[in-house]
Structure 1
Amino acid sequence: MASENENENENENEENNSIVAVHSVLTVVSSIPVNPSDKTCPLTVVDRAMGQHSLHVIFYFRSGSLDFDGIRPAINEVLSMYPNVTGRLAKDDDSNWVIKCTDAGMRVHRAKVETSVDEWLRSASADDERYLSVYQELPDDPKYWSPFRMKVTDFEGGGTAISLSCPHMLADPISMTLLIKSWTEAYHHDVVVHPPFLHPHALNIPHTFTTPLPNTTSPSYYLSKSKTSYPNPKVKMASATFDFSNLAIKQFLVKNCSVLPDATPFDLLTALFWTSIAKLKAQTDDLKQSISICMDMRKRLRAALPYGYFGNALHFSQLTVNGNKISNKGDIGQVAELVHRHVVGLKDEEFWSAVDWLNSRKDDQGKFLPPFRMYGPELTFVNMESMIAPIGLNMNEAQPLMYGVEFMKDQKPVHVSYHVENVEGEGLILVMPSPEEELARRVTVTLPEEEIEKLLKDEVILSLDPILLLSGRIQI
């Protein structure tokens, strides 16, 4: 149930470059109409907080070209479970965004690229990779605008990239990933392991909490974010992805974190990149150093949310340490311990204090104030360890959610990229699971352009023998 649209209200020319060419645009709708037809889905205060950003995920498949016409009926079926995805944005009486579940459909762009998947991953830049997603600004009147947009790109010689894009206020990385994963499960007539949980009231503060919550730091940190001003013009940023093997991470953990047996790859890699980037900036030891850590709180809440909770369940916190711990005099293992203790030390009260502060951020008329940038201004690390989830009902075996996306059985993606738009400040680092699984990780680093080239030569990072992806270092 998809229709061709020859005259979409979209500028196709802006999506094409010399490598990627869009050849058609479709509208995919659900197989079962929304009932009732006037249903609306409200956004939570955590959703609204992400209003300055957009989110994009790209799944790369190497083996053969996917037959989109063959897998399309399954997305019609899955979209029946996601009425908010096929709806349209509107304002309520208080000028807050809501989703009107109009069943207007999701836009799908079809494209071709004149290179192979492997060559693309070796040599494309972050700017090139943008053309595999549909980047569109939220229009002044979004009545007919598809907030969720997919792009299916066929590579030369076989292979496909499937991307999904949306305003960040509508979904976080887990929500985006599970939508695509549910599509593959429906295609294979399997059980949808993590069906959408469309209950935004689950993020209402429990009655057992008394606000304001004492001894929490989130309100003051979020307040400081809301007052941050950014330089104009913007600093040009560049990105690269480092692929670290399971063996390399295992040996590096043994070398640096032997006294901290519970240390995670995120703890170690955050310490590694934080210290390496600090060296580039030549900051003095007497200054305190801070980073922002973004993490999912679904399973960290005392009353845990299901993985399928659809929307945003992200929490931002600040870790500040003395400069001498991060400089050349610092020890990676010691910094990893500080990161570990900070992450495990975040409790229910901290998460709910952030929600409470966002809920209180209103003007004199009781209307919510405009959102501010959540990523930055400090160097921001995104902890994606929560993407590793039990396989089906087997609680003893786990797999990264993004690498459980299989349109062809036993052929998982060769890579999955996540991108956040409108990020300014010192930079953004995403620490993600790898298709190798176990302790292997992929780290996507976005820094000011002059810093990224220096980081690519860092001796400590290179000692782990990472494979470099999507750095644009080789001309296509």
Structure 2
Amino acid sequence: MPSAAMTVAAGLATGPGSRVTRFAKSTAASVTPVRPGKTHALSPLDNAMERHTVHVVVYLRAAPGLDREQLKESLSEVLSLYPAMTGRLTRGEGSADAEPAHRGWVVKCNDAGVRMVDARAAVTLDEWLATATGDEEMDLLYYEPMGAEPYIWSPFYVQLTEFTDKSYALGLSCIHIHNDPTAAALFFHAWAAAHRRTTSTYPPFLHPPALAVSPTSPPPAPPLLAEKASAASPTSTDAAAAMSSATFHFPASAVRALLSSLEPGTTPFAALAALFWLRITGAADGERELTLALDFRKRMYAPLPWGYYGSSVHFTRARADLASGLPAVAAALDRHVAGVPEEELWRALEWLHTRQQQENAPFQMYGPELTCAALDHVPMYGAEFEAGASPARVSCRVGGATGEGLVLVLPAPEGGEARDVVVTLPAGATARVCRDAEVLRHGAEVVFGAKAEKEE
């Protein structure tokens, strides 16, 4: 019979040839106990994200005040502000006419803690950034899917990976039920503030009723969400394994040059979303549709704080004639994003609420059609664990986006017009995009490429 140590090591193992070694797993607890009986309700939109996970990696260069024990200490301190993170999921109880807070998943804030994994990488940070593939970057993250006993399963996992030059990668993985990419990225702001013993610019706002709805009659189904729900099928492990990721960096000069060739006023998001839409689909003739995932914290009449804890992603369908060329396609995306009415957001929330009361079967929100998410508004590089030292790089992924794939447009380390684009596509498509002459012509630098690209 294998020893306990052997069992833990096996569970933490990375793939053959990995330069990352995970060597310990523990639990990080809050320094401040939660009052007994406290719960955190999840909105119908949160519950709809059950098939998806969120993964964020923050790379920090070596600094005098940055070591493993200090990071663990500040993590325990910041968890005091996030009682839902250290809790466990339980099914809500109630009849079909119960309040939304008592249907679907509910978080029991029981101070069970978050899982923490310690790891080391056999290279320096700069060597890693120069040579790692998109798939290798996942070795900096640790996640265990929910099992048959969710009340003992940790929805959050934090991996601390130390490079040989004493730099660190902080990897956060969680189920999308708890947090969307914006909330997950801004958690690092609060962690960094706790590390510097100051106050976060984006304090957590744990107030589920902020998105509460109670329609008086069943609302009509939003076409996009209705299609996703009717096409629902379990996400297989094989399908997830067939997907591959890569990261493209567009310096500010490259983005400015791209924008100069487009209609005045075109946003970097629309320009890059249009570019990758055209290159991924092969610039097919005729009108096509692209699903956009938009953060609506600040798109409502009564906006939510940036620190809102939960999901606030709205999925909307844009249309454009791909034969009309990049300038026209980018302009069409900008017009659509600017024209999404708040009523559309609430109709989607009302429909998800009603559907949750009738059935609780999850379905794929990111995909199966090609989806592009706008995250370049998120101040990811403000998480300064040492005053004045921004992260060297921040990466973000969304798990469960199988099918045609997902494109994320993110801010870049140097700020301004610079952007990073993370694609998660079928493996062959990822390799093709990494070699695409049009993408490279527009100044893209492949930071974390596809495995096939690295081997050539």
Q: In structure 1, what residue type is equivalent to 2:332?
A: L
Residues 1:326 and 2:322 aligned together: yes
* Distance of 2:11 and 2:147 partners within structure 1: 17
* Distance of 1:464 and 1:368 partners within structure 2: 47
Contact 1:96 1:368 (C-alpha < 8 Å) held by counterparts:
no
Which residue matches 1:243? 249
Q: Superposed, which structure 2 residues align to 1:293-372 within 5 Å?
A: 293-321=292-320, 325-327=321-323, 330-362=324-356, 366-372=357-363
Contact 1:241 1:442 (C-alpha < 8 Å) held by counterparts:
yes
The Cα shift of 1:47 comes to: 0.1
Q: In structure 2, what residue type is equivalent to 1:311?
A: G
Q: In structure 2, what residue type is equivalent to 1:50?
A: M
Describe the superposition over 1:357-409 as per-residue Cα deviations: whole angstroms up to 9, x where unpaired: 101114xxx4432110001122110111331xxxxxxxxxxxxx210111122
Which residue matches 1:85? 85
Which of 126, 129, 151 is the equivalent residue of 2:159? Answer: 151
The Cα shift of 1:62 comes to: 2.7
The Cα shift of 1:7 comes to: 7.2
* Distance of 1:338 and 1:22 partners within structure 2: 46
> What is the identity percentage for the equivalent residue pairs of Structure 1 and Structure 2?
36
Q: In structure 2, what residue type is equivalent to 1:13?
A: G
Which residue matches 1:454? 432
* Distance of 1:367 and 1:129 partners within structure 2: 40
* Distance of 1:43 and 1:376 partners within structure 2: 22
Which residue matches 2:278? 275
Describe the superposition over 1:301-320 as per-residue Cα deviations: whole angstroms up to 9, x where unpaired: 11100011101111111112
Q: Superposed, which structure 2 residues align to 1:181-220 within 5 Å?
A: 181-205=189-213, 219-220=222-223
Describe the superposition over 1:233-292 as per-residue Cα deviations: whole angstroms up to 9, x where unpaired: 63722221110011111121121123xx2x21001001111111221xx74x24x41111
Q: In structure 1, what residue type is equivalent to 2:223?
A: S
Q: In structure 1, what residue type is equivalent to 2:164?
A: E
Q: Superposed, which structure 2 residues align to 1:24-43 within 5 Å?
A: 24-35=24-35, 37-43=36-42
Q: Which moved more, 1:456-465 or 1:146-155?
A: 456-465
Describe the superposition over 1:426-465 as per-residue Cα deviations: whole angstroms up to 9, x where unpaired: 1110000111111100001122222222222322211222
The Cα shift of 1:212 comes to: 6.7
Describe the superposition over 1:173-193 as per-residue Cα deviations: whole angstroms up to 9, x where unpaired: 121122221011122122222
Which of 231, 253, 263 is the equivalent residue of 1:257? Answer: 263
Q: In structure 2, what residue type is equivalent to 1:23?
A: F
* Distance of 1:166 and 1:52 partners within structure 2: 11
* Distance of 1:367 and 1:33 partners within structure 2: 36
The Cα shift of 1:88 comes to: 1.1
Contact 2:180 2:312 (C-alpha < 8 Å) held by counterparts:
yes
TM-score (norm 2): 0.90
CA RMSD of aligned residues (A): 2.4
* Distance of 1:68 and 1:175 partners within structure 2: 24
Which residue matches 1:379? 370
Residues 1:169 and 2:177 aligned together: yes
The Cα shift of 1:213 comes to: 6.9
* Distance of 2:359 and 2:306 partners within structure 1: 28
Q: In structure 2, what residue type is equivalent to 1:368?
A: E
* Distance of 1:454 and 1:192 partners within structure 2: 41
SS in 2 for 1:143: helix
Describe the superposition over 1:85-131 as per-residue Cα deviations: whole angstroms up to 9, x where unpaired: 11111122247211110011112111001112222222222322222
Over 3 Å counting, the alpha-carbon distance change for 1:109 and 1:101 in structure 2 is: same
* Distance of 2:8 and 2:146 partners within structure 1: 12
Over 3 Å counting, the alpha-carbon distance change for 1:296 and 1:11 in structure 2 is: farther
Q: In structure 1, what residue type is equivalent to 2:292?
A: I
The Cα shift of 1:76 comes to: 2.1
The Cα shift of 1:67 comes to: 0.6
* Distance of 1:85 and 1:219 partners within structure 2: 31
Contact 1:211 1:356 (C-alpha < 8 Å) held by counterparts:
no
TM-score (norm 1): 0.86
Contact 2:249 2:446 (C-alpha < 8 Å) held by counterparts:
yes
| Residue-pair matches, total | 437
SS in 2 for 1:126: coil
Q: In structure 1, what residue type is equivalent to 2:445?
A: I
The Cα shift of 1:424 comes to: 1.4
Q: Which moved more, 1:20-29 or 1:453-462?
A: 453-462
Q: In structure 1, what residue type is equivalent to 2:364?
A: R
Describe the superposition over 1:38-60 as per-residue Cα deviations: whole angstroms up to 9, x where unpaired: 11111100000100111111111
Q: Superposed, which structure 2 residues align to 1:16-165 within 5 Å?
A: 16-17=14-15, 18-35=18-35, 37-64=36-63, 66-94=66-94, 96-165=104-173
* Distance of 1:90 and 1:82 partners within structure 2: 17
Which residue matches 2:388? 410
Describe the superposition over 1:286-339 as per-residue Cα deviations: whole angstroms up to 9, x where unpaired: 4x4111100100000111000111011111111123xxx314xx2211111100
SS in 2 for 1:98: strand
Which residue matches 2:97? none
Which of 236, 239, 255 is the equivalent residue of 1:234? Answer: 239
Over 3 Å counting, the alpha-carbon distance change for 1:121 and 1:203 in structure 2 is: same
Over 3 Å counting, the alpha-carbon distance change for 1:213 and 1:339 in structure 2 is: farther
Contact 1:292 1:319 (C-alpha < 8 Å) held by counterparts:
yes
SS in 2 for 1:90: strand
Contact 2:397 2:422 (C-alpha < 8 Å) held by counterparts:
no
Which runs of 5 or more residues in structure 1 are unaligned? 1-5, 388-400
The Cα shift of 1:470 comes to: 1.2
The Cα shift of 1:12 comes to: 4.4
Larger helix proportion, structure 1 or 2?
2
Contact 1:433 1:441 (C-alpha < 8 Å) held by counterparts:
yes
